[in-house]
Amino acid sequence: MRDQAAPRPQLIDDYLDKVEEWVERSKGKVRADRVHQKLVWLGYTGSERTTRRAVAKVKVSYRAGHGGCTGRG
């Protein structure tokens, strides 16, 4: 019996470095729709929903690494 299934490779995997770069550059403020548009220009053929999930995950990681600072008040 398996404890946990191995994650399936996704189209977004090859582009995660770019997503992380854009999140870092924008200090966590880049919008997922803009990321998706840029990825499509680079040849990404996955769905916008997958892009949104990836951006959300990268932003959570970014915020955790930067003390959770959102730049507000």
Please write the tens of the pLDDT for every residue from 7-61.
888 899 999 999 999 999 999 999 999 999 999 999 999 999 999 999 999 999 9
Residue 11, both tokens = 């189209």
Residue 70, both tokens = 């959102």
Residue extents of the structural domains in the chain: 11-62
Q: Above 60 in pLDDT, residue 71?
A: no
- What is the pLDDT at residue 64? 93
> Bigger pLDDT: 2 or 14?
14
Angstrom distances, CA of residue 22 to CA of 5, 8, 9, 63: 30, 24, 22, 14
- What is the pLDDT at residue 67? 63
